[in-house]
Amino acid sequence: MKGYVYILECADGSYYTGSTIDLDKRLNEHKDGRGANHTKKRLPVQLAYVEEYLRIDTAFKREKQIQGWSRIKKEALINGAFETLPNLAECKNETHYRYFKEKE
C-alpha cells in the first residue's frame, strides 16, 4: 500500500510533518480542523512538501526522521536544497565543536 509523508505550513509559520495512505483525504481533514491537534489550533494550513513511497511503513519511518530535524533543515528540504541537507545534520553546539577541534 502506497504511503505519503508530507509537511504542512501552519498559519503561525510552524511546520507539521505527517504520513498517510490517502493524501487528499488527510489534507482535507487538516484543513477542516479534524487533523492533528497541532494543525487544528493553527489554521489555515497549506501543503509545503510531499514524498511518495511504495509502502506506508517506509513513509512513516521518513516522517519520524523529518520530525527530528531542525526548522532550517526542514526548510532546505521544502525548498529543494538537497545538497545542503548533510551539512545541516552536523552538530553545531559549542561543546561538540570544541571537542572535535581538540581531537584534530
C-alpha 27, offset from chain centre: 15
Domain count along the chain: 2
The model carries a pTM of 0.84
- How far is residue 73's CA from residue 65's CA, in Å, rounded to a whole number? 11
Residue 49 sits in a domain whose CATH number is 3.40.1440.10
Both 56 and 78 in one domain: the answer is no
pLDDT tens readout for residues 48-93 = 999 999 999 999 999 999 999 999 999 999 999 998 898 887 666 6
Indicate if 58 and 89 belong to the same structural domain: no
pLDDT for res 91 = 63
Same-domain status, 1 and 17: yes
Range of the domain at 22: 1-68
